Structure 1
Amino acid sequence: MSPLPFVWRLHQVIRSLLSPFGKIIDRIPRTPPGEERTLLDLGCGHGIFLALARRMRPGLSLVGIDLDAAKIRQARQAFAKAKISGHQLAVMSIADFPEGTADYIAILDVMYLVPLVLWAGILKTCYDSLKPGGLLLLKEMNTGKPAKLAVLKLEETLAVNILGITKGEETRFTFPPPEEIRKQLQTIGFEVEEIPLDRGYHVPHMLWIGHKPSNPNGPPVS
């Protein structure tokens, strides 16, 4: 079992320190005794978020999917070494995930690598994959803070184009304004919360929580 290359391990450490994963997990309700709830991490990478979720929300069943087979392989190795159980890690698209089976779906710093024209289809598939009453946790960037956004773009250009750590179209990042993200989520049927998470961070982290109604066939969200 070979260790991750140094530059990748360094990226993992930096990402865990500079991303507000703990604040995002705080938004996931604790699982009542005797119940089982599933957290799906779409674009899970090396599984850093899921590993922290296991520690902070031990009652969750964890599922991580990513299109990068190397990252999934390395995540499996890391989870085995850490003796983390109760999880599934797979090379899979959200399009192949069963409908109505996830209680929570996290998409953290993934959509900025996806052209905006494809967002609606991905978010609709997430909506369909959630159980009624489920939550979508979408973490992207607040374009209303241009100075912090400029720092973020420089970092991502380094990660995508120079180091090759993150897969994406070269220099083509998608950072829609907050009102566009809210509109897309509401159009699909989510009730939306917007939560700034950038306090104490050098980049403009922002969390959108999409609440799938307990009765999805009820009246549309206004």
Structure 2
Amino acid sequence: MSDDARPLPSATARAIARAYRPAHPLGSYWDYFYVRGKLSSDPLYPGIVDALRGTSAPVLDLGCGLGLLAHALRDAGLALPYRGVDIDAGKIARAARAATRAGLGETGFARLDLARGLPAHRGSVAVLDVLQFVPRQAHDGILDGAIAMLAPGAKLVIRTGFDDGGSRARVTRAVDVFSRVLGWMNAAPRHYPEREALCARLADAGLRVEVDSLSGDTPFNNWRVVAHAP
């Protein structure tokens, strides 16, 4: 995958976003418009779905937010059992409600602070736009825990920015800070991984590592890291 990566089609984004409409017509449409805009502008989910295609292991989504990966997987015809965890209890509740509304099978959600520990799991693991929001000292624990969860043939898929000092990195940090100011994120960015160190840690664990740009037409410094378990 490269910078020609594309987001979901607008019609698909709109269809998925319907599950995030408020229960009452006068309720907040924030999630609906966020989901619709996110899916139609960010190549994140097609890139992660593409990485998981061909696998059969259950997927644990660490820092799942509103659970959009579950919807993208089902839209692509991937019926992988899915579980999402996130520190934000409000997002978890809304993710579960949207999954129910959309009729997604074999999905589950739970609140969890990744800095304090990981749940039991065996399969593939997704860590999407998460590492920069946890303290540097927690990175190793999250990565080691995710690696230990991988079943044979499963994958660890990561989307992250890298601390490379470029203009895209500065834009990414600014937007992450703004997300915290808006209250969308529970934490400000703490530490962006270094590409060489991250890849070396995964390779030292015996995983085959691939790194591709996942910025698409956005100005952000986003990368997809796929680590294949033997």
Per the alignment, do residues 146 and 9 of structure 1 end up closer, same or farther by CA in structure 2, a change over 3 Å counting?
farther
Q: 1:115 aligns with which of 130, 135, 154?
A: 135
Maintained 8 Å contact 2:168/2:219: yes
Is the 8 Å Cα contact of residues 118 and 142 (structure 2) preserved in structure 1?
no
In the alignment, is the contact (CA less than 8 A) between 1:159 and 1:165 conserved in 2? yes
Is 1:191 matched with 2:176? no
Instruction: Show the counterpart of 1:137.
Output: 157
- Return the match for 2:34 from 7, 11, 15: 11
Superposition RMSD in Å: 2.3
Structure 1 residues 107-138: Cα deviation after superposition (integer angstroms, max 9, x where no partner): 10011101222111111111111112321001
TM-score normalised according to structure 2 size: 0.79
State how far apart, in whole Å, the 2-side matches of 1:154 and 1:11 are: 19
* CA spacing shift, 1:212–1:189, aligned 2, 3 Å: same
| Worse-matched range after superposition: 106-115 or 52-61 | 52-61
Residue 2 of structure 1, CA deviation: 4.8
Please tell me whether the aligned partners of residues 193 and 208 of structure 1 are also in contact (alpha carbons under 8 angstroms). yes
Number of the residue aligned with 1:63: 83
Report the CA distance between 1:16 and its aligned residue. 2.2
Q: CA deviation at 1:154?
A: 1.7
CA 1:207/1:73 → structure 2, altered by over 3 Å: closer, same or farther? same
Taking structure 1 as the reference length, what is the TM-score of the superposition? 0.81
Residue identity matched to 1:184? R
Distance 1:153 1:10 in 2: 23
Q: Report what 1:220 is aligned to.
A: none
Flag structure 1 segments of 5+ consecutive residues without an equivalent: 214-222
Which residue in 2 is equivalent to 1:46? 66
Shift of 1:62: 1.2
Structure 2 gaps, min length 5: 1-21
Counterparts in 2 of 1:96-115, with a 5 A limit?
Answer: 96-99=118-121, 101-102=122-123, 104-115=124-135
Are the counterparts in 2 of residues 8 and 165 from structure 1 also a CA contact under 8 Å?
no
Equivalence for 2:226: 209
Residue of structure 2 in register with 1:155 after alignment: 175
2:43 maps to 1:24:
no
Which residue of 149, 165, 172 corresponds with 2:184? 165
- Kept in 2, the 8 Å contact 1:105–1:136? The answer is yes
* Same amino acid, percent of matched pairs: 24
Moved more, 148-157 or 117-126: 148-157
Q: Structure 1's 158 and 126: CA in aligned 2 closer, same or farther, altered over 3 A?
A: same
Measured after TM superposition, the shift of residue 184 of structure 1 is 2.5
**Cα distance 1:199–1:67, how it changes in 2: closer, same or farther (>3 A)?**
closer
Distance in 1 of aligned mates of 2:202 and 2:48: 18
Which residue type is aligned with residue 167 of structure 1? N
2:83–2:108 CA contact under 8 A, matched in 1: yes
